[in-house]
Amino acid sequence: MLHTETLGRGPDVVFLHGWGLHGGVFSRLARYLADSGLTVHLVDLPGHGHTPAEATFDIARIADQLALAFPLPVQVVGWSLGGLVAQHWAARHPDTVRSLSLVATSPRFVRSADWPHAQPREAIETVGHNLATDFEGTLRRFLALQTLGAPHARQTLEAMQSLLFAHGRPQGLMPALQALLEADARAVAPEIACPTGLFFGARDAITPTGAARWLAHTLPDARLHLFAQASHAPFLSHESDFIAALAPHLDRFA
């Protein structure tokens, strides 16, 4: 069962976090939206936070679990790995997703000959190798990469590090990392019919703007919001600007 924390009353919005973290990374944003008249659900994905690990991080199966957990139409906000899951959810169960907000994510996280908008495979594999020998250090270095290039990067990094183990020590990071290495949702994108907001940082080293522009071009109904000074976590580094962009998108479908 997916652990979920729920705040507020009103139309439902489900948040899906990135690799190595948990739903609590959205806590400040969630409180603001809950106070604004929304019901916010913060999900811990398998192997993260309070949700038990599974042998494999099966993205399609997790999307099916989410659709069962939230059978009435909801708005979905997915960041990084969570955005990849959200893409599958919206494509596989269109009747349950009213709108989609994709934050610093991609249909494919590994660079290839026909996909330059990602990191080299070796960079992600190195993270996996290092987890076995320096678990906490590897996670902290990965968080640092997410803030690289943004103003006030140190403060954003400190905020993320303070939340890192707030829901306990994650137990299923390797299966989720393997899923990032293998996933390719490009064929799924044309099947996502719901209105989609794309929220990306122009300085993101993990999901470059090329991925954002590809999604904006490929998704049937998408709008791109680019934060010029942000990197991989614009909702933390540029909180007020992010809220100003996200809130109208959610309000359209509340």
Annotated binding site for substrate: 19, 80-81, 142-146, 232
As a whole number of Å, the end-to-end CA separation of the chain is 27
Q: Which of 12, 204, 238, 249 is catalytic?
A: 204
For residue 224, give the H/E element and its range. Answer: strand 222-227
The residue annotated as part of the active site, out of 3, 80, 106, 249, is 80
Return the structure tokens found at 154. 């140190």
Instruction: Collect contacts of 118-126 with beta carbons under 8 A, ≥24 apart.
Output: 118/207, 118/208, 118/211, 119/205, 119/206, 121/181, 124/177, 124/180, 124/181, 125/181
Beta strands 97-103 and 196-201: pairing type? parallel
Residue 204 annotated in active site: yes
**Inter-residue contact 199 to 82 (CB < 8 Å):** no
Residue 80 designated active-site: yes
Q: Are 177 and 58 in contact (CB under 8 A)?
A: no
Q: Is 23 exposed, middle or buried (0-12, 13-18, 19+ CB in 10 A)?
A: buried
Structure tokens at 102: 């994709």
3-state secondary structure string across 106-125: CCCCECECCECCCECHHHHH
Single out the catalytic residue among 17, 232, 238, 249.
Answer: 232
Pick from 41, 128, 133: nearest CA to 89: 41
The residues carrying an active-site annotation are: 80, 204, 232
